[in-house]
Structure 1
Amino acid sequence: MKNYITLLGIFLIFATTEAQDLNTQKLDSLFDLVDQHHKMMGSVALIKNGEEIYTRSIGFADLEKEKKANKNTKYRIGSITKSFTATVILQLIDEGKLTLNTNLAEFYPDIVNASEITIQQLLNHHSGLFNFTSAEDYLSMNTQAISKQELLAIIKKNGKVFEPGEKGEYSNTNYLLLTFIAEDLEKDSFSNILEERIFKPLKLKNTEVGKKINPNKNEAFSYSRKMGTWKKEAETHMSVPLGAGNIISTPIDIAKFYSAVLEGKLLSAGSLLNMKIFEERFGLGLFQLPYNEHRAYGHTGGIDGFSSMAGYFPNEKMAFVLTANANSINLNDIALSILADYFEGNFEMPQYSKEIILSMETLTSYEGVYGSESFPLDISITNDEGNLIAQATGQSSFKLTPTSKNTFVFTPAGIKITFKNNQLSIEQGGGVHELNKK
């Protein structure tokens, strides 16, 4: 449920063959390598025609008690929850209790532009409402219980960032409101609604609305990599994300869900068609996740130290799901390897260099705001307990990985940053810019 979206992207690997037999031995070697180099802890599953064709878990669900993860370990799945929420709303539409054109004002008229915002615009992030998880004080309130009235007050206070339908922009606020609307119509808790409409019918025994993490129920804690070790992350209180990110599940159960919904087992043909209509990359609780000519539908998720991605390829009737409770790499790279194995029968093993650990003194010396008259944005550098975090003006923050004492990279965006004498050199796409510390 984090403020940014990390999609699989438009893959540039040219694959023209149909699915091959999985090289499960090589996939095992991949996850062994990832585990040995402390790049990820988590689980993966591939399901085809309803049958498991590959599962693997690495690392620990509870590092402190050395409890290893297994295929039934439950992870917080963050924004993958939105696909479940969208399915519930579309079921209500199928039952005549709503329409895509129903206005928000029928439920919450006090919210800005409520008479103009439609259910469809909430579902596909075209409402224009401010994303409440982007608020400056979000991290100071997300670990505490919060009421519906308090959340509504936050939504009203933050208002809009653009007019309804003007464009698409991801906002968790949309799915809080959809949660409330479902509860109002059904006169029940969202947890019970999900249980009766999705979890029970699909027999998802390891899927539920999360509470405080309970390791005795095989629920994973989350961790982040700091100073060469995994540190436990704080827990978001699940009264905060609601239908935007409050489900816990396993890769197998998530794969079953996407298979069912995209095979038309939960929705009418019309609602499923609407779900897969995309405006500015946003479907109704779905993203398109293409692998060359093959196209999956699914979502990604991030909450606390958890990250996840899931997709279902309708033509191949194959679902793949990655859930991680710790990672120091982009899960997209792992997904690419898995899909290359499935579609091409082979993939290139990654090369991981030795982990570089810098002193707090060195990292702190790089903190500051850097700018230049020739560069349109200032870049803020902060030291977060041993991790350098970069953030350009008005942009999402991202973690930098050291490759030497003064050189850092952010691989997903092809960014390289070098520090020298109170200057920052940033390289991206062949361009190089020199910024001075202010």
Structure 2
Amino acid sequence: MYWEKDLETLPREELYELQKQRLQKTIQNAMRTPFYRRLFTREGINPEKIKTPEDLRYIPFTTKEDLRQGFPFDFLAVPLEEIVRLHSSSGTTGTPTVIYHTKDDLDRWTNQVARCLYMVGVRKNDIFQNMMSYGLFTGGLGMHYGAERIGALTIPIGAGNSKRQIWFLKHFKSTVIHIIPSYALLLSTIIRGEGLDPRRDFNLRIILLGAEPHSEETRRRIEDIYGAKAYNSYGLSEMNGPGGAFECLYQNGMHIWEDYYIVEIVNPDTLEPCPPGEPGEIVLTTIFRDATPILRYRTRDVAALIDEPCPCGRTHRRITRIQGRTDDMFIFRGVNIFPMQVEKVLMNIPEVGTNYRIVLERKEYEDTMRVEVEIKPEFFFGDLQKLERLRERIADELRAEILVTPEVVLVEPGSLPTQEGKAQRVFDFRRL
């Protein structure tokens, strides 16, 4: 059940002491970086007074823009000859964010991921098919080395090429996959197009979902399609990558590994701390990484902290599933809307297929919102009156969730654009 029982079940007071020790070492390390030396001098911060997690409040937040402006070496705390790997953000425009790793950093990260995988039941006798991109993106290599650390047979197939994915799933009887949620839905339609059944014709028992936020309704749909348990995970390249937080078998929030990070949840507008249970922006501080220490990093991801003990026995606190990103939120007629709210409604309606998109436009000085929804074949090609009632039902349920009424357009299955990577759900043409 536990990969490192002593650390995973460490009493809270002992975990706090461990955080203090590692934080003080991290502060010393951060002072070796040009960025934090300048920051502490400019703000008049005495690094020797940062001794506890509570003392972090005296340090300004670090942002993605700071990392970009510090490209390439302003956040590097060790000599370059000690670096064995770097990873970079997946953005295609502008200066990338770069995170460096020593050999010890990679070993710790691998162990962190192995802890996550073991927690949800991955074992030495599993066959792990990794459908994430390899390279500068952290999702592929991060999970790969964690699975190998456990001893599972690991297939580094990478992203895309759906027919090849299906061939490997069938012939090697893969039991565990790591996959983007939207691609899991897309792949299921391709599997059926090949005359196969996602539940009956494969050997899957564990699905690891990552790389994009998704709703509980999407998770349940994926589990139903494949007949396997699907576990939510959280990570970002600035904090190593996958393995930052992971669900346990109870699927009641993601344990965030507090021996690796100090977590804060803040109001994104006021930047004041949010109480447990109140959603806010996740802010993370690395406390177990040598090459690239980062203090109080604003992730832009929105979640709430869960303080209650978990039945699994792990003492590391949990965060809720990611509700969206502060920079993904769009405003429509004065209402703040996260794409996840739309997904939550759609994936809970049995007649809805696996794809949808939100189109925002400006017509005659007025903003419009259109939600285009693919409908399953057995419902789309049928009674037109029933189809109209379904459209009205979707519009009503969306209005109840997002407080505005979008135009709902029901479309033929397979008619909306798809991609084998992260799904683009929002098309905002109002500023073009």
TM range, normalised to the smaller chain?
Answer: 0.3 to 0.5
TM-score by length of 1: 0.32
Higher strand share: 1
Relative contact order, CA 8 A, sep 6+: which one is greater?
1
